C-alpha cells in the first residue's frame, strides 16, 4: 500500500471516530440526568424564565432534532466561511457565539501544549536513553525513581510550588497570564505570542511572552516527562537487545551512532505512537495548568464556564478538545507511516 | 517496590481510619488557633486561613480521596471486566461495537470527560467516583479483551470446548483466572489515577464542600492564599496526595514487573 | 607469531539464581589465514567464546580470567574506545540471523559508508561510495540495490550483505557465528562458498561457529569441540576424521549421516546438556558418557596431549597420553 492511499484511508477512518465522539459528548451533556437550564439557574428562576431560555437555545425541541442541529452546526460550511469557526451554539451566560470564544482561547492552549510537549520529549527521551544505557545501575534506578514520583505528583501541586518559589519568594517569574499586563500582546497572526512577536521582529515581546510561558510549560512538561522517561526506557531496552544493535557494535561504530542512529532511531517509532496517545493526557493536564497559572486558554475557559454553569459553552469546549486529539492522532499516524521505510514507498 | 507501596498505602489508610482518636482538634472547627499560623509546637502543621488545625485536617483528609478512588475502582471493575470478558469471548458485531465506543472514550482526554460528567452530575463523593469511573473503564476493557483474545485460542480452552463445557464455564473457570494478574496491575494503577483525577476535579471546583477536610480541598484553598506565602497549607496536603498516588503506583509497577519478566534480563 | 592467542579464558554470567560459568579455561591459538571450527550444542559456550574475542559478551556476562591477544595486544585490558577500533577493522563478526542484523531504517549502502568512514575518517563520501559498490558487486548483488532498505532483500541476500560488511575493511580475522543456521538448505552452501572464496582472496583467518559438525569438518583446518563451557577436544580436522578421541566427539561423528556408508547406523547421544547453574561434578560429560568411570564423577579431567596438534579432556587417555596438566586448584 502506498503512502498516499494509506493517508487517504486513515483520514476516512477518522470520520466514524469523530461521529462517535460527537455523539458521546451530546449524550453526556443532554441525556445524563440533570437539566442544563435548571442547573444553570440553580433553582432560582421562575418556570417562565427557564422556558424562555430553553426556547432561545433550542432546547425545547425533541432530542433527535437537537442532535441533528448540533451535528449540522459543526459542518455548516456557510457559517464557517462567514465566521471562521464552526457553529457550536450560543453561551447560556453571555449569549455570544461559543465557537468565537473558543476560537480566541485556543491559541493559548496550543502554545502551552506545544512548548510542554517539547520539554517533556527532551527530558523524557534524554533521561530514558541514559537510563536504558546504564541498565540496572544506580543512575538507572535514580532516573526510574524520578519518573515514578513524577507520575504521582498532582500537576497543579507542582505548578503551585513553582509559583510559590519563583513567583512569591524569589519574584523572578510571573505566576500567571500569557504576557506581562503592562505589555501589549503582539498583533495576532497565528495567535501564539512567541511566534507572532518573532514574526514581527519584536524581541522584547518575545522574551516577555517566553517568561510567562516558562513556569506553565515547565510544570506540564515535567509531569508528562515521567511517562516519556518510562516509555523511552522500555522501548530502548527492547531495541538495545536486538541483533542489529549488537552487530553495529561488532563493526566498531561509535557509541553515539549505535545509541542514536541504531537504537533510538528504531525505538523512536513506538515512542512516537505513544506520545500521540499521551497527547490526551497532556490536554487534561493543560486544563489544570491553565487554571493554576490563569492562562487564558481552552482549559481555563472550560473551568470558568463550569462556575457559571454555562453548559453550551462546556459542551463546545469538550467537542473542540476531542477534535484536537483526533487531529493529533491522525498526524502522528501519518508521520509514523512517513518515517517507517517499511510502510513508505 | 510492591512492599514499599503497600506499606505507604496501608499506613495512610490506617492513619485516616484512626484519625478521630489521634487528631488533636476537630478538623472542621474554625478558629481553634490564629489564622494562617506557621507550624509551631502547638500546631505542628500550622493553621489554615480559617484558623483550623492543619494536622487534624491532614489526618482526616484522606478519607474523601480513599472513598472516591475505591468507589470508582469498584465501578470500573464491575463494568469493565465483565464487559471485556463477554465482548471478546462472544466476538462479532457486538465486540466490534463495544471496542469502537471504548476506544473513542480511551482516546479522549480523561479529565475532560470527568469534568463534563461531573459538571452535569453535581458535587459529592458518589458523583465524583462515577465520573472518574467512566474515564477508566476502557483500561480494564482493553486489557481484559486483549488477554482473552489470546487465551481463547490456547489448546486447553479448545479442549474444554471439545468436551462440551458450557460457555460460562469456559469463560469463568478457564479464561478468567488467567486474566486476573493483568487486572490486578490495572487496578492498582487505576487507584493512583483515580486519586490524581479526584484531586484535579477538586482543584477546579468540582470536589466536595469546603468545610469537609480533604487534601485536594485544602491544597486548593491554600493556593487561593498563595501570595501570603503560607507554604504549609499547600505543602502538607500536596505531599499526602503524592504519597497516596505514589504508593499505588509503586504497587502497580512492581507487580507488572514481577508478572512481565520480559524485561528482567 | 599467532594472529590470535587465547589463554585460560573464563567467562561468567552472574544471575540472580547463581553464577553461570559459560566458558571455562579455554586456550587456543590461530595463525594468519587459518580456519578454526567451534562445534558444540546450544549452550555449550561457543557463541560466548566467539563474542569474547570482540569483547561483546552480552549483559551480564564478564570475562573473569585469561587473556585474548590479537597481534600481541591483550584486548581484555583495552579501553572501550581502543576496542572499537579493533572491532570491524581487525576482527569482524557475522551473526546468526541476517533478518534482524541490519538496521531496518538504514539503506544498505549507508551501512557500508558509515563503517568505512568510522574506521577511516579521511575517506571522502564519494570514495566510500565507490568502495561500497565494489564490495557489493563482489557479493553478487547488483550495485543499483545499494539504495534499497534491508526489508527489500531476502534472508540469503542479507547474509551476503552481512558478509560484505564483515570483509569490507579487510580484517585479519572473521568470526562467523552460525552464519547459515537461519537460512534455507540450498542457500546455506552458497553462503559458505562465498565466505570461503572471499576469505581466500583476502587471506583472512576464520572462526566458524556451528552446531553442525559436518559443516565444520568440511571447511576448517582445526576444530574445537565445546561442551558445557569446556574444551573437550582440540584437533586438526584430518586427525578428527581419522582418530576422534573423546567419547562425545565420537558420538557427534556417529550422528552425522554419510551418503557413502549405506549400512551406517545413526546413533544419537543419550541425555541432554547439563543445567549450567548446577553443572555435574567431575567431567561435565559423565552423565551422558557410556565409558564413565568412578573417577569421572569426582575429578575434572585435565586437557592432555594425545598427539601432534591433538588435545583431549578425558581420563580414558590419561595413562597412554602425555600429560599437559595445568596447575589449577579446583
Given CB atoms, is B226 within the 8 Å cutoff of chain A?
yes
pLDDT of residue C324 exceeding 50, the answer is no
Average pLDDT of chain B, as a whole number = 86
Is position C81 within any domain?
yes
Mean pLDDT value across residues C108-134:
93
Which tops the pLDDT comparison, C55 or C309? C55
Span B41-57, pLDDT tens digits: 888 888 887 788 888 88
Q: Give the A:C interface size as CB pairs under 8 Å.
A: 74
Chain C: which residues have CB within 8 Å of chain A?
Answer: 54, 56, 58-59, 80, 84-89, 92-93, 95, 97, 100-106, 114-115, 118-119, 149, 151, 162, 165
Q: Do C87 and A249 touch (CB under 8 A)?
A: yes
List the C35-39 sheet strands across, edge first: C91-94, C173-177, C205-210, C35-39, C222-227, C230-236, C310-312, C304-307
Contact between chains at A244 and C89 (C-beta distance less than 8 A): no
pLDDT band for position B76 (cuts 50, 70, 90) = very high
By residue range, what is the domain housing residue C202? Answer: 4-105+149-328
Q: Which residue in chain C has the smallest CA separation from A237? A: C59
- Is residue C142 in a domain? no
Query: Region B204-222: what's the mean pLDDT?
Result: 84
**Domain final residue, candidates A98, A129, A151:** A98
CATH number assigned to the domain comprising residue A298:
1.10.3720.10
Give how far C58 is from chain A: nearest CA, Å: 9
CA A85, A87, A92, A96 dihedral sign is positive
Q: Which of A98, A131, A147 is the last residue of a domain?
A: A98
Is A301 part of the contact surface with chain B (CB cutoff 8 Å)? no
Q: What is the pLDDT of residues A225-284, one digit of tens each?
A: 999 999 899 899 989 988 999 999 999 999 899 999 999 989 888 888 888 888 888 998
Mutate to test the interface with B, among A160, A294, A309 (most CBs of B within 10 A): A160
CB atoms within 10 A of CB B65: 29
Residue A201 lies in a domain: no
Shared-domain flag, residues A247 and A141: yes
A30: containing domain? 18-98
C97 CB neighbours in chain A (<8 A) are 243
The owner of cell 568502495 is: C131
Residue C243 contacts residue C223 (beta carbons within 8 Å) = no
Residue C113 vs residues A253, C127, C176, C255: alpha-carbon distances, Å: 11, 9, 22, 44
Distance from CA of C234 to the nearest CA of A (A): 27
Same structural domain, A276 and A303: yes
Residue C143 forms part of a structural domain: no
A266 vs C88, C105, C151: nearest CB: C105
Q: Is the peptide bond before A230 cis (omega within 30 degrees of 0)?
A: no
**Could you tell me if B50 lies within 8 Å of chain A, comparing CB atoms?**
no
Name A159's Cβ contacts closer than 8 Å, sequence gap at least 6: A215, A216, A219, A288, A289, A292, A293
Query: What is the pLDDT at residue C329?
Result: 37
Q: Contact C207/C30 with Cβ under 8 angstroms?
A: yes
C-alpha cell at A190: 497565528
Q: Which of A241, A244, A345 to mutate to test the interface with C (most CBs of C within 10 A)?
A: A244
User: Looking at the complex, does the CB of residue A272 fall below 8 Å from at least one CB of chain C?
Assistant: no
Which residues in chain C are contacts of A248 at CB distance < 8 A? 103
Do the Cβ atoms of C31 and C173 come closer than 8 Å?
no
On the question of pLDDT at B86 being above 50, the answer is yes
Please identify among residues 98-157 of chain B the ones whose CB lies closer than 8 Å to any CB of chain A: 100-101, 103-105, 107-113, 115-117, 119-122
Residue A244 touches chain C, beta carbons under 8 Å: yes
Residue B47 DSSP label: B
Highest mean pLDDT pick, A194-198, A306-310, C222-226: C222-226
Best mutation target, B104, B231, B232, B250, to test chain A (most A CBs within 10 A)? B104
C288-313 mean pLDDT: 88
Task: Indicate the residue of C80, C88, C103 with minimum beta-carbon distance to A244.
Answer: C103
Q: Examine the pLDDT at B265 and tell me if it is beyond 60.
A: no
Q: Provide the whole-model pTM.
A: 0.83
A273: which chain B residues are within 8 Å (Cβ-Cβ)? none
Is C119 contained in some domain?
Answer: no
* Cβ–Cβ under 8 Å, residues B245 and A152: yes
Whether the pLDDT of residue C321 is over 70: the answer is: no
CB contact under 8 A, A266 and C101: no
Angle separating helix axes A155-162 and B176-203, nearest 10 degrees: 40
The reply to whether B51 touches chain A by the CB within 8 Å rule is: no
The DSSP 8-state label assigned to residue C123 in this structure reads -
| Closest chain C residue to the Cα of A338, Cα to Cα | C105
Tell me whether A318 touches chain B (CB under 8 Å): yes
Residues A30 and A93 in one domain: yes
Test mutation, B112, B197, B256, chain A, max A CBs within 10 A: B112
Last residue in a domain, options A40, A69, A98: A98
Q: What is the nearest CA distance from A335 to chain C, expressed in angstroms? A: 14
Q: List pLDDT tens digits, range C176-186.
A: 999 988 888 88
- On whether residue A254 sits in a domain, the answer given is yes
- Kindly list the partner chains of chain B, i.e. chains with 3 or more CB atom pairs below 8 Å: A
Residue C325 pLDDT more than 50?
no
What letters, b where the CB count within 10 A reaches 16 and e where it falls short, cover C297-306?
A: eeebbbbbeb
* Mean pLDDT, range B117-121, rounded to an integer: 85
Nearest residue in A to B114, CA atom: A284
Domain shared by A45 and A66, yes or no: yes
Considering the domain boundaries, does residue A162 fall inside one?
Answer: yes
pLDDT at C317 over 80: yes
Compute the nearest-CA separation of A180 from chain C (Å). 47
Closest CA of chain C from A151, distance in Å = 29
Examine the domain organization and report whether A78 and A221 are in the same domain.
Answer: no
Does A17 contact B107 at a Cβ distance shorter than 8 Å? Answer: yes
- Give the count of domains, chain A: 2
Helix axes C155-167, C185-202, angle to 10 degrees: 10
**Partners of residue A340 in chain C, C-beta under 8 Å:** 105
Q: Above 50 in pLDDT, residue A200?
A: yes
* CATH code, domain carrying C75: 3.40.50.300
Chain A residues whose beta carbon lies within 8 Å of the beta carbon of residue B246: 148-149, 152
Q: Are A254 and C84 in contact (CB under 8 A)?
A: yes
Residue A85 to residue A88: CA distance in whole angstroms? 9
In a domain, A77, yes or no: yes
Claim to verify: residue A92 and residue A114 sit in the same structural domain: no
CA distance A88 to A72: 10
DSSP state of B38: P
CB–CB contact A243 C93 (8 Å): no
Angle at C210 between CA C204 and CA C213, to 5 degrees: 105
Please tell me whether residues A166 and A235 are part of one structural domain: yes
- Low-confidence winner among A48-62, A284-298, C95-109, C212-226 (lowest mean pLDDT): A48-62
Three cell numbers written together for B189: 494503577
A288/B241 touch (CB, cutoff 8 Å), yes or no: no
Cell (9 digits) for C34:
587459518
Rounded to the nearest integer, the mean pLDDT of chain C is 88
* pLDDT interval class at B37 (50, 70, 90): confident
The pLDDT score that the predictor gives to residue C216 is 92
Phi, psi of C15 (to 5 degrees): -125, 175
Give C-chain residues touching A341 at CB under 8 angstroms. 104-105, 149, 151
ipTM of the complex: 0.87
How high is the pLDDT of residue C257?
79
CA C51 to chain CA centroid, Å, is: 8
Q: Which residues of C touch A339 (CB under 8 A)?
A: 105
Instruction: Report helix, strand or coil for C319.
Output: coil
Cell numbers found for residue B103: 476506544
pLDDT tops 70 at residue A344? no
Hey, which of A205-209, B203-207, C19-23 has the most confident mean pLDDT? C19-23
Predicted local confidence at residue A34, as pLDDT: 65
CA atoms of C95 and C98, how far apart (whole Å): 7
Please check whether residue B38 is in contact with residue B69, taking contact to mean a CB–CB distance below 8 angstroms: no
CA A173 to chain centre: 24
Distance CA C237, CA C224 (A): 10
Residues of A in contact with B206 (CB under 8 A): 306
**Pair (A277, A238) in one structural domain:** yes
Bigger pLDDT: A17 vs A294: A294
B232, B54 Cβ separation under 8 angstroms: yes
Q: How confident is the model at residue C261 (pLDDT cuts 50, 70, 90)?
A: low
- The reply to whether residue B119 touches residue A32, judged by beta carbons under 8 angstroms, is no
User: For residue C321, what are the contacts with CB-CB under 8 A and spacing of at least 6?
Assistant: C304, C305, C306, C312
Q: Which ranges constitute the DSSP H helices of chain A? A: 3-26, 36-41, 47-57, 63-75, 77-83, 98-133, 138-152, 155-162, 193-199, 203-240, 243-250, 255-256, 265-292, 298-307, 311-339
Q: Tell whether C255 is covered by a domain.
A: yes
Q: What is the reported pLDDT for B261? A: 54
Domain membership of residue A196 (yes or no) is no
- pLDDT score recorded for residue B172: 82
**Min distance A86 CA to chain B CA atoms (Å):** 20
pLDDT at A1: 57
- Lowest-pLDDT choice from C31-40, C161-170, C270-279: C270-279
Same domain for A113 and A83? Answer: no
Residues of A in contact with C103 (CB under 8 A): 244, 248, 261-262, 265-266
Across the interface, of C100, C101, C118, the residue whose CB is closest to A254 is C118
pLDDT at C49 (0 to 100): 95
Q: Which of B106, B181, B104, B183 is nearest to B143 (CA)?
A: B183
In chain A, which residue's Cα lies nearest the Cα of C95? Answer: A247
Q: A149 — contact with chain B (CB < 8 Å)? A: yes
- Does domain B61-264 match CATH 3.30.1490.20? no
Does A154 or C16 have the greater pLDDT score?
A154
Task: Tell me which chain A residues have a C-beta less than 8 angstroms from the C-beta of C55.
Answer: none
With 70 as the cut, is the pLDDT of residue C319 above it?
A: no
User: Which residues make beta-bridge pairs with A267?
Assistant: none
* DSSP conformation letters of A291-333: HHTT--SHHHHHHHHHHTT-HHHHHHHHHHHHHHHHHHHHHHH
Is A142 contained in some domain?
Answer: yes
| Nearest residue to A181 (alpha-carbon basis) of A202, A209, A218, A159 | A209
Amino acid at each position: 500500500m502506498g503512502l498516499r492511499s494509506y493517508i487517504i484511508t486513515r483520514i476516512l477512518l477518522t470520520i466514524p471516530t469523530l461521529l462517535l465522539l460527537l455523539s458521546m459528548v451530546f449524550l453526556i451533556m443532554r441525556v445524563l440526568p440533570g437539566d442544563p437550564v435548571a442547573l444553570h439557574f440553580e433553582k432560582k428562576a421562575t418556570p417562565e424564565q427557564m422556558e424562555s431560555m430553553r426556547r432561545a437555545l433550542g432546547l425545547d425541541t425533541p432530542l433527535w432534532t437537537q442532535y441533528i442541529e448540533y451535528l449540522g452546526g459543526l459542518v455548516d460550511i456557510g457559517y464557517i466561511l462567514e465566521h471562521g469557526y464552526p457553529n457550536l451554539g450560543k453561551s447560556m451566560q453571555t449569549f455570544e457565539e461559543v465557537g468565537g470564544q473558543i476560537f480566541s482561547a485556543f491559541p493559548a492552549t496550543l502554545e502551552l501544549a506545544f512548548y510542554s510537549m517539547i520539554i517533556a520529549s527532551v527530558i523524557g527521551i534524554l533521561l530514558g536513553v541514559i537510563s536504558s544505557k546504564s541498565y540496572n545501575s544506580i543512575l538507572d534506578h535514580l532516573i526510574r525513581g524520578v519518573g515514578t514520583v513524577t507520575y504521582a505528583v498532582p500537576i497543579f501541586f507542582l505548578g503551585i510550588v513553582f509559583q510559590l518559589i519563583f513567583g512569591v519568594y524569589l519574584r523572578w517569574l510571573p505566576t500567571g497570564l500569557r504576557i506581562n499586563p503592562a505589555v501589549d500582546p503582539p498583533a495576532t497572526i497565528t495567535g501564539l505570542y512567541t511566534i507572532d512577536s518573532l514574526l514581527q521582529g519584536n524581541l522584547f515581546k518575545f522574551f516577555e511572552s517566553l517568561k510567562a510561558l516558562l513556569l506553565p510549560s515547565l510544570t506540564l512538561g515535567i509531569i508528562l516527562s515521567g511517562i516519556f522517561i518510562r516509555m523511552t526506557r522500555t522501548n530502548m531496552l527492547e531495541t538495545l537487545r536486538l541483533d542489529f544493535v549488537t552487530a553495529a557494535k561488532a563493526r566498531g561504530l561509535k557509541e553515539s551512532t549505535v545509541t542514536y542512529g541504531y537504537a533510538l532511531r528504531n525505538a523512536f517509532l513506538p515512542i512516537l505512537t505513544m506520545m500521540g496517545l499521551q497527547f490526551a493526557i497532556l490536554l487534561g493536564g493543560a486544563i489544570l495548568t491553565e487554571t493554576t497559572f490563569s492562562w487564558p486558554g481552552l482549559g481555563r475557559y472550560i473551568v470558568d464556564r463550569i462556575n457559571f454553569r454555562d453548559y453550551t459553552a462546556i459542551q463546545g469546549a469538550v467537542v473542540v478538545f476531542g477534535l484536537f486529539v483526533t487531529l493529533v492522532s491522525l498526524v502522528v499516524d501519518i508521520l509514523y507511516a512517513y518515517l517507517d521505510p517499511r510502510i513508505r514507498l | 517496590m510492591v512492599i514499599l507501596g503497600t506499606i505507604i498505602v496501608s499506613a495512610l489508610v490506617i492513619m485516616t481510619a484512626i484519625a478521630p482518636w489521634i487528631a488533636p482538634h476537630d478538623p472542621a472547627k474554625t478558629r481553634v488557633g490564629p489564622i494562617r499560623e506557621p507550624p509551631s509546637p502547638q500546631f505542628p502543621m500550622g493553621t489554615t486561613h480559617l484558623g483550623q488545625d492543619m494536622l487534624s485536617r491532614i489526618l482526616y483528609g484522606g478519607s474523601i480521596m480513599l472513598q472516591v478512588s475505591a468507589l470508582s475502582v469498584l465501578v470500573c471493575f464491575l463494568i469493565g471486566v465483565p464487559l471485556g470478558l463477554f465482548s471478546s469471548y462472544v466476538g462479532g458485531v457486538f465486540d466490534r461495537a463495544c471496542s469502537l465506543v471504548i476506544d473513542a472514550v480511551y482516546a479522549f482526554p480523561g479529565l475532560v470527560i470527568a469534568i463534563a460528567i461531573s459538571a452535569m452530575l453535581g458535587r459529592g463523593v458518589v458523583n465524583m467516583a462515577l465520573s472518574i469511573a467512566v474515564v477508566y473503564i476502557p483500561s480494564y476493557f482493553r486489557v481484559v479483551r486483549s488477554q482473552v483474545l489470546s487465551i481463547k485460542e490456547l489448546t486447553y480452552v479448545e479442549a474444554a470446548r471439545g468436551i462440551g463445557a458450557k460457555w460460562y464455564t469456559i469463560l469463568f473457570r478457564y479464561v478468567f483466572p488467567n486474566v486476573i494478574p493483568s487486572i490486578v496491575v490495572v487496578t492498582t494503577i487505576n487507584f493512583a489515577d483515580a486519586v490524581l483525577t479526584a484531586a484535579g476535579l477538586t482543584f477546579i471546583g468540582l470536589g466536595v464542600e469546603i468545610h469537609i477536610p480533604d487534601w485536594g480541598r485544602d491544597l486548593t484553598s491554600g493556593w487561593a492564599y498563595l501570595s501570603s506565602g503560607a507554604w504549609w497549607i499547600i505543602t502538607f496536603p500536596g505531599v499526602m496526595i503524592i504519597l497516596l498516588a505514589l504508593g499505588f503506583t509503586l504497587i502497580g509497577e512492581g507487580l507488572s514487573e514481577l508478572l512481565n519478566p520480559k524485561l528482567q534480563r | 607469531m599467532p594472529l590470535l592467542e587465547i589463554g585460560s579464558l573464563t567467562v561468567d554470567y552472574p544471575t540472580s539464581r547463581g553464577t553461570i560459568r559459560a566458558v571455562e579455561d579455554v586456550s587456543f591459538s590461530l595463525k594468519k589465514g587459518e580456519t578454526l571450527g567451534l562445534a558444540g550444542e546450544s549452550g555449550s559456550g561457543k557463541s560466548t567464546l566467539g563474542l569474547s574475542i570482540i569483547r561483546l559478551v552480552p549483559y551480564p556476562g564478564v570475562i573473569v580470567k585469561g587473556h585474548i591477544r590479537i597481534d600481541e595486544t591483550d584486548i581484555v585490558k583495552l579501553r572501550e574506545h581502543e576496542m572499537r577500533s579493533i572491532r570491524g577493522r581487525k576482527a569482524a563478526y557475522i551473526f546468526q540471523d541476517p533478518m534482524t542484523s541490519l538496521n531496518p531504517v538504514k539503506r544498505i549502502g549507508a551501512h557500508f559508508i558509515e563503517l568505512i568512514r568510522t574506521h577511516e575518517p579521511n575517506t571522502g563520501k564519494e570514495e566510500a561510495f565507490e568502495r561500497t559498490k565494489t564490495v557489493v558487486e563482489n557479493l553478487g548483488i547488483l550495485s543499483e540495490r545499494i539504495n534499497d532498505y534491508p526489508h527489500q532483500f531476502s534472508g540469503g541476500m542479507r547474509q551476503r550483505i552481512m558478509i560484505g560488511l564483515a570483509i569490507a575493511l579487510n580484517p585479519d580475522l572473521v568470526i562467523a557465528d552460525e552464519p547459515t543456521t537461519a537460512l534455507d538448505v540450498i542457500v546455506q552452501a552458497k553462503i559458505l562458498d562465498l565466505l570461503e572464496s572471499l576469505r581466500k582472496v583476502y587471506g583472512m583467518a576464520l572462526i566458524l561457529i556451528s552446531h553442525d559438525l559436518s559443516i565444520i569438518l568440511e571447511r576448517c583446518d582445526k576444530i574445537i569441540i565445546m561442551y558445557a563451557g569446556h574444551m573437550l577436544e582440540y584437533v586438526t580436522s584430518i586427525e578428527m576424521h581419522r582418530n576422534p578421541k573423546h567419547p562425545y566427539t565420537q558420538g557427534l561423528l556417529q550422528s552425522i549421516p554419510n551418503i557413502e556408508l549405506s549400512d551406517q547406523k545413526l546413533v544419537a547421544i543419550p541425555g541432554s546438556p547439563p543445567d549450567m547453574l548446577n553443572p555435574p561434578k567431575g567431567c561435565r560429560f559423565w552423565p551422558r558418557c557410556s565409558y564413565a568411570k568412578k573417577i569421572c564423577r569426582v575429578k575434572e579431567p585435565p586437557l592432555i596431549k594425545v598427539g601432534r596438534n591433538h588435545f583431549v579432556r578425558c581420563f580414558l587417555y590419561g595413562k597412554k597420553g602425555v600429560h599437559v596438566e595445568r596447575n589449577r586448584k579446583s
